[in-house]
Amino acid sequence: MNISTRARNLVPSATLAIGAKARQMQAEGIDVIGFAQGEPDFDTPEHIKEAAIQAARDGFTKYTATGGINELKDAVAVKLKRDNGLSYTRNQILISCGGKHSLYNVFQALLDPGDEVIIPAPYWVSFPEQVKLCGANPVIVHATEPQGFRLNRQVLEPAVTPRTKLVVLNSPSNPTGAALSRTELEGIAALAVERGFAIVSDETYEALVYDGYRHVSIASLGDAISARTVVVNSMSKAYAMTGWRLGYAAGPAAVIQAMDGLQGQMTSNPTSFAQRGAVAALLGSQESTKRMREEFAKRRRYIVDRLRGMPGIRCHSPEGAFYVFPNVSGLYGKRYGAKTIVNSTEFTTFLLDAARIAVVPGVEFGSDSHIRISYATSMANIEKGMDRMAEAVAALA
Ligand SMILES: Cc1ncc(COP(=O)(O)O)c(C=O)c1O
């Protein structure tokens, strides 16, 4: 059988390759510390599990409405009002099988072949691939390190053309953790309204922000920008629910209806009893999210300090998420055994071999000068991993 051009053109994930190598080393009894995972190391809070278990026991195990149960859409509406100052009705909300699925639905609903989509780099790996699956063209703009990887109107504007259909925002960002200020968002919103493009605002990491930073949703900046924005969010990171596969989108009713139609032909509804768990998560106590945030804040401070203490490495302190994105290009040209390190993939292999720590090369995210380190692992692992990395880096010739 011949594989479709579409499937063949997908870029294979180097993250998975690193993960496979790390797992193989672990299977051989080598003690590898994983800093590559993009998921909280905390368990899903009990009251969320209980709600889903009870729902399954009650026989809530059949198909639901394609776009999610009304109870969950209402809970999402409450959350968006409470946390973001946004007002949406049921017909403006769609529940999907993960934020990734919500994003896929939005792109499929809005993009035609030949449309241009501006994606700020460093970007989350799925954005360009999902855009390409629509036959649309990703246009990469670079948010620079001296500006803390943050985007603004001046960076975006030169990339806007009459074919620009939408701009993807991801604040706080995976992989950099950078989060946009209200002023930066206002500038981008004004440009979107003037030039007539849409915004897809991926707010998956909004609950994980530090040092008093307050997340702002671009859709809250007025009716004009709200009418051209689809907000995407996920249960995965804020509630440690990665395996539950639940995300949601909120936006203009016509877009949500189109997404619902697509979902109806692809997956149908997200898992029935998992949706009941999500209701408990959104409407119940937010204490566990707060505790997770406080723990991540401690780890972030520690890991940034340690990285800054390593010669040849620069590390910006991010506003949010659970990643740091240090610049390691100051060590390119150094020798490790018989090899010379010249890019982020080789640096990652060096860390795996010499320090037995698994990270993700920045080239995956559109920047070959960096690596991504996830601090969604215990403080003990972080301390041990940073000790090993410092030792390995100091031994480079
Ligand atoms: C930026 C970003 N958006 C969306 C997602 C999707 O999360 P999920 O599909 O688990 O809801 C992720 C997951 O890693 C992410 O990093």
The strand pair at 247-250 and 93-96 is best described as antiparallel
Residue 170 in contact with ligand 1 by CB distance below 6 A: yes
Domain count, the chain: 2
C-alpha span between 115 and 161 (Å, rounded) = 10
pLDDT score recorded for residue 337: 86
Distances (CA, A) of 358 to 39, 40, 332, 355: 14, 16, 18, 9
Q: Which atom of ligand 1 is nearest to the CA of 103?
A: 4
Final residue belonging to a domain, choices 241, 268, 283: 283
Residue 128 sits in a domain whose CATH number is 3.40.640.10
> What is the per-residue pLDDT across 237-249, written as a single tens digit (0 to 9) for each?
999 999 999 999 9
Residue 124 in contact with ligand 1 by CB distance below 6 A: yes
Residue 213's pLDDT band (boundaries 50, 70, 90)? very high
pLDDT score recorded for residue 233: 98
Residues 379 and 338 in one domain: yes
Q: Name the residue at shortest CA distance from atom 1 of ligand 1.
A: 174
Residues 277 and 186 in one domain: yes
Residue 331 sits in a domain whose CATH number is 3.90.1150.10
C-alpha span between 35 and 216 (Å, rounded) = 28
The strand pair at 360-361 and 116-121 is best described as unpaired
Residues 23 and 108 in one domain: no
Final residue belonging to a domain, choices 236, 252, 283: 283
pTM of the model: 0.96
Residue 237 in contact with ligand 1 by CB distance below 6 A: no
pLDDT score recorded for residue 14: 66
C-alpha span between 261 and 137 (Å, rounded) = 24
Q: Name the residue at shortest CA distance from atom 14 of ligand 1.
A: 38
Residue 149 in contact with ligand 1 by CB distance below 6 A: no
Mean pLDDT of 176-191: 97
Residues 270 and 299 in one domain: no
Report whether pLDDT(11) > 90.
no
Cis amide linkage into residue 311, ω under 30° from 0: no
Instruction: Give the DSSP per-residue string, 145-212.
Output: GGGTT---HHHHGGG--TTEEEEEEESS-TTT-----HHHHHHHHHHHHHHT-EEEEE-TTTT-B-TT
Residues 253 and 353 in one domain: no
Determine the structural domain holding residue 76 and report its residue range: 50-283
Residues 186 and 127 in one domain: yes
Distances (CA, A) of 299 to 117, 292, 321, 360: 35, 11, 12, 18
In eight-state DSSP terms, residue 313 is -
Residue reference for tokens 């480079």 = 396
Residue 236 in contact with ligand 1 by CB distance below 6 A: yes
Residues 275 and 354 in one domain: no
pLDDT score recorded for residue 21: 82
Report whether pLDDT(43) > 90.
yes
In eight-state DSSP terms, residue 354 is I
Residues 25 and 64 in one domain: no
pLDDT score recorded for residue 335: 94
Residues 27 and 125 in one domain: no
Residues 167 and 307 in one domain: no
Q: Is the dihedral of CA 233, 237, 187, 107 positive or negative?
A: negative
**Residues 325 and 175 sit within 8 Å (Cβ to Cβ):** yes
Final residue belonging to a domain, choices 283, 300, 321: 283
Which residues partner with 233 through β-bridges? 248
Residues 38 and 86 in one domain: no
Residues 144 and 130 in one domain: yes
